[in-house]
Each structure stands twice: as structure tokens, then as C-alpha cells.
Amino acid sequence: MTYSSIFLSEWYLTFRRKQDIANSILFFLVVIVLFPIGVSASPSFLASASVGIIWCAASLASMLALDGIFKEDLRDGSIDQWRMNGLMVSIIVLGKVLIRWGAFILPLLVLIPFCGVALSLPEDLMFETIVSLLVGTPTLFLLAAIGASITASLRNSAVLMTLIVMPLYLPVLIFSTGYVKASELGVSGIGQLAILAAIFLIVLLISPFFCAISLKASAE
Amino acid sequence: MLLSIKDLEIERDDKVLFSPVSFDLNSGDIIKIAGENGSGKSSLLRAILGFLTISDGTILYRGGSTNRAYNQFLKETLYIGHNTGVKDNLSVSENLYLLNGSVPKKEFSTVVDMLQLQEHMDVLCRFLSEGQKKRVALASLWLRECTLWILDEPFVSLDNVAQALIQNAILKQVAKGGAVVLTTHQPLAIPNYKEVFLS
Amino acid sequence: MNWSWFHTLGSPKKFYYLSLKWERFLLSFGALFLGSGLVWGLGFAPEDYLQGNSFRIIYIHVPAAVIAQSFYVAMGVAAFVQIVWRMKLAPIALRGFATVGALMAALALITGAIWGKPTWGTWWQWDARITSVLILLIMYLGIIAIHNTYLERQLSDRLSAVIALVGLINLPIIKYSVDWWNTLHQPATFTLTEQPKMPSEMWLPLLLSFIGLYIVALAIVFIRMQTHILEREKKTRWVRDEVNDGV
């Protein structure tokens, strides 16, 4: 095993199981649909809520996309083989999460303009919404990976994962919607964007490390 | 000395698995770990690999117990456990590449022919039988150059032909100066192996 | 440096007997402080000129909220010790602080709601402090849930330590972001706990009840830890002797 053989295999596996990614994207759409129907369909409400709705849906969908990312590796003994080959579990975790993020964010970005129209998202905020998703969702994925690694040995992990990961999501949720809202008010949101990037860097440092600890513990 | 185990004990959830185990492994040795079901054979192998916390005793890798000695040991060891690392959703050829990424692909064909996997190269492993999946994992025995083999139940779900192949491979490995630690319930048709019994 | 105290605390047996000794001490001092603080605060401290008598709930509310936060830090330290040194006592302490911390957070939320009704006219307000405590409670519950989910004790100890430590690292970020979010949404909320110039007849009993509740909470943590120690070490001789003596 080498890093490149693992990442190439992960690439194949992601596309072979593309329905998993598709499911999380469909879930995103379903949550989007719930808001106009459940809360209010008036364009004035939707216009002010649209960014928040998109971000809530993206948070939930990202958790669904990562639930089970390590389950197979734990079950089929891959984690043992990574370690046997002297590879760092944390680097493999990082690679797996990034591959999955790539497979998730591309279809999501394609859908955002349509969701924006459906939610009466002001047109001049479309760009900022997309930027906020691009900067914010990698952090969400890295945080969800911690939850996924902790629940890797459980059969039904989605609810528990939501419970432990959701509090960690809040800063990302707050500053990414804050960034878009700042632009809405005509203020520069670059500060919020910088904070988002800083949070990303912190999480980038800690997430693979803690994922490795919990995966090794689960493999015992 | 490749490996030296002294008074090793493992606890799982407050239960001691077996009475203290000691043995030395030199190049050319074959050690068979025997014991009843649930006596902790697999756990012992995983403890040797450092994947399981030991509650007592020492493990020396080539006489050392440092991190460096351990990492060196992992590098020169091939471990095939119950869960082999074969991915259900990858084809045989993709799995062979995944597990033996450092080996040039052109070396695969002779081993694939020997293990009679050539017709299944593009079949996903989830559609193979248990024995065929095991062969995919065991291909590493011929593809990789490792001094020490740690094999957990290598003969399970294999037919006689494949079992004979593995036994031959083990003999060749020790003839080359390597060493093998394995668990099995079967009698080995191999002369001169040591047995460690867990109780 | 002499590290023997570290090892003494690391041994569940020694901690068990030591904490048994401390416990009476802590409980009596805690009850003394808490009792006098509450009697003074509820009975004799002057009325608030704005809120009347309803403000008196701060004698429980504020201590509970502060303890909930500081226990999270204590739990995080236990998690760190567990991950780095795998000390036997660390997961036991982690679980003790988590349970009592969650209780304190819940107490702070409930008293906050009771206080909010007469002052704000509503049981609940998305104020920065209240939201922070709510998130803290959810994080506590998540850790307890992880600890309860796995039947393998080693695994549940280590995984709950991971999530506790991740939570501790993220806590400042979460708190800061919630504060920021709150100023964005509700710039006009007046904060109740930062009243300018609280007279000493008001804050002295607050200090007393804070110290008292803190000590009592710590004693409850110790009692819970003792129970966990007995359960975990149930196969050892000393626990058998201890339990049989009691019967």
C-alpha cells in the first residue's frame, strides 16, 4: 500500500458508490423544499432567510455525506494495512475527506443557482453564497470526519454523529451566513471570510489527528 | 532475533485472555499459535503488531523496543488478518494494486495465474467467493518482500490446492531466512515448527 | 520534582479512600457556604430597584452557569490526561465532570428561564449567554451519549476523551462566534448579570453561594467517581472487601 494507491482506490470507490453522494445532495434539496412549505413561501421571507436555509441544508447534508466514510475501512481491515505499511492514518483521513468533499461540492455548486432562484435569493448575493460554501464546507467536512471516526464502529451512527458534531458546526454556520449578510448590507465581509479561513486552518490541524486517534482505538 | 515476547498478557474488558506468553522468533522459524476458539490467538497477533494495548510483558523488535525499532518492524512485516484489507467494491486487479501499490504491475500476472484469479481480474470482490477473496489478499505473500509474515488463519476457506500453495510459500519464506507466525486449527504438513499454546 | 502525588491520584484505589476523606469536608463546607449565601441572598439582601425580588434567582443561576463552564475545562483536562497518559482515573473523572456539568448547565437554563419570564416577559430569549449554555449542555450530552454507547469500556473511554478534547479546543471559537452572532442579531439586549455597581450586600452572598455550590458540585463529582471506581474495579480484592464491609 502507498498513499497514491490508497487515494486512487478511494477515487474509484467514491465514484462506484456515487449514489451515496447523490443521496446527500438529494437530502440537501429536500431540506431546502421543507422551508418554503413548512415556514412561509412569501418571497420577502425567503429572500432574507435563503442564505440561512441553504447553509442549514448544507450542514445537514455534509454530515450525511461523511457518515460511514470510515466504516468500511474499519470493517475490512484497511486501517490495519495502512499502519502495516508505515502510512500515517491522519494523512489518509485527510485525503479521503478531501476526495469526498470534491465529489460533494461540485454537484452542490451546480444546484445552488437553482436553489437561489427557488428561495428568492437576491441575485447579487449568489456569488457570495457560493464563496461562503467553498470556504466553509471543507471545515464542515473535517469536523464531520471527527464524528464519523468516533462512530465508525457503530451500525447506526447518524443521530449520534449529529449530536456531537452540530455544536462544532456553529462557528462556521455563523460566520459564513454573516459574511453573506454583510455583503447584503453593503459592508465588506472580508473579516468574516478571514475568520472562516482561520477556523479552517485550526480544524485542518486537529481533525486528522483526532480522527487517527479514534480510528486506532476503534480498530483495537 | 527478529522478535522476542516475554510474559505477554492482554486484558479485554477486565478479562485476562491467556496466561503469560513468552517466545522468541529467529529467522528461519515457523511458530504456530494454537489454542481454543476465543483463547486470544488473533489478539496476540495484533498485540505483537502494536495494534492492541498489552496489559503486561514486553515485546522486543530485533532487540529494541523504541519507536524506531517498531516502525522498522512494521515495514519488514506482512500481516494478513481475518479482515484482510480487500475492498468489496474494488475489482481484483484494483485490490491487488491497492494492497501492493509499491510493486510494479507487470509482476502481478504470474501470481494471478498461480492463484487462478486471471479470469476474475475485472470482477468486483463482492461477487467473489470467500476463498477467492482470501486469495486476493494472500497474493501479497508472493508479491511483497517481507522478512516476517504474521498470518491469522491463512488456510480458512481455501481449497486443498491453495492450501498447498501457501504451505509451499511458507517453506520458501523460511528457507530464504524469513520467519512466519501463524494461527491455524489445522495440522501443518511442515516439518520443524514450534507451537505456542494459549490457555 | 516529586511526582508521587500524580501517581497517588492516578490510582483509583488511593483516590477512592482519599476522596472519601475529602468528601465530608467538602460537603460540610459547601453546605455552610451555600446555605449562608442563599439565606443571606434570598432573605436579607436588598431588592433590586428594577426587578424587585425576582433577581434573587441569580444566587443559583450565575453559580450554576459558571460551574457548568469551568467543569467543561476540567473535563477537557481529564480527556487530555486520558489521551496522553492513559491514566486509569482520567476517564472516571471525565465522566464525573460530564454528568455534574450537564446538570449544572441544565440548572442554569431552567433558572434562567424562570428569571426571564418576569424580567423579559418570556421564558426563552436567544441571548448570547443563554445560547452558549444551551450549546454547552448539548456538548455535555453528546459526550455522555458517546460514553454510554460503547459497551467496550476502553473504547468508550478513549472516544469520549477525543470528543471532549475536540470540544474544549472548539469551545472558545464557539463562544466567540455566538457572542458575535448575538450582537449581530440583537444589538439592544441589556445584560442582566453585568449590572453596574452591584452593592456589596448583593454580591457578597453571590460570592458565598458561588463558592458553596462549587464545592458541593465538586463533592458530587467525587461521589460519582467513587461509584464508578467501585464498578470498574469490582473484580479486585479491595473492592470486594470494601463492599462486604458495608453490608
Domain co-membership, B195 together with B160: yes
- Please give the pLDDT value at position C190: 44
Q: What is the pLDDT of residues B109-147, one digit of tens each?
A: 888 888 888 888 899 999 999 999 999 999 999 999 899
**Which one of C152, C154, C231, C233 would you mutate to disrupt binding with B, by most B Cβ within 10 Å of its Cβ?**
C154
Cα gap B160→C141, rounded to integer Å: 55
Domain of B59, CATH number, reads 3.40.50.300
Whether the CB of C143 is below 8 Å from some CB of chain A: the reply is yes
Question: What pLDDT digit, counting tens, does each position of A170-201 carry?
Answer: 999 999 999 999 988 888 889 999 999 999 99
Burial C29-43 (b: 16+ CB within 10 A, else e): ebeebbeebbebbee
Q: What percent of chain A has pLDDT over 70?
A: 100
Taking contacts as CB-CB distances below 8 angstroms, the residues of chain C near A163 are 138, 141-142, 145
Q: Give the count of domains, chain B.
A: 2
The answer to whether residues B112 and B156 belong to one domain is no
Q: Which three cell numbers stand for residue C59?
A: 444566587
CB distance C96 to C74 below 8 Å: no
Report yes or no on B82 lying in a domain.
no
Contacts of B14 in chain C (CB under 8 A): 153, 232, 235
**Residue ranges covered by each domain of chain A:** 3-219
Both B130 and B153 in a single domain? no
Give residue B98's domain range: 88-145
The whole-model pTM stands at 0.92
Residue B183, strand partner residues: B33, B152
Q: What's the distance, Cα to Cα, between the start and end of chain A in Å?
A: 21
SS3 content of chain C, % helix, strand, coil (to 5): 80, 0, 15
The verdict on ipTM greater than 0.95 is no
* Domain assignment of residue B96, yes or no: yes
CB count, 10 Å around CB of C213? 24
Output B106 or C142, whichever has higher pLDDT. Answer: C142
Please indicate, yes or no, whether residues B5 and B70 belong to a single structural domain of this protein. Answer: yes
Domain contains B169:
yes
- Side chain identity at B39, as an amino acid letter? S
Q: Closest chain C residue to A173 measured between Cα atoms?
A: C177
B107, B128, B145: which is the final residue of a domain? B145
- At A116-152, the pLDDT tens digits run 999 999 988 999 999 999 999 999 999 999 999 999 9
Per-residue model confidence (pLDDT) at position C246: 61
For residue C247, the model assigns a pLDDT of 57
Residues lower than pLDDT 70 in chain C: 1-9, 49, 184-198, 246-247
Whether residues A2 and B89 touch (CB distance < 8 A) is answered with: no
Based on the fold, state whether residues B1 and B72 are members of the same structural domain: yes
* Same domain membership, residue B106 and residue B66: no
Check whether A37 has a pLDDT greater than 90: yes
Chain A residue numbers with beta carbons less than 8 Å from the beta carbon of B89 are 13, 16-17
Nearest CA in chain B to A72: B87
Are B162 and B123 within one domain? no
**Nearest chain C residue (CA) to A146:** C163
> Residue A120: which region, alpha, beta or left (left: phi > 0; alpha: psi -120 to 50)?
left
Contacts of B13 in chain C (CB under 8 A): 152-154
Q: Which of B52, B83, B98 sits opposite A9 (nearest CB)?
A: B98
pLDDT of residue C189: 42
Q: Write down the mean pLDDT value for chain B.
A: 88
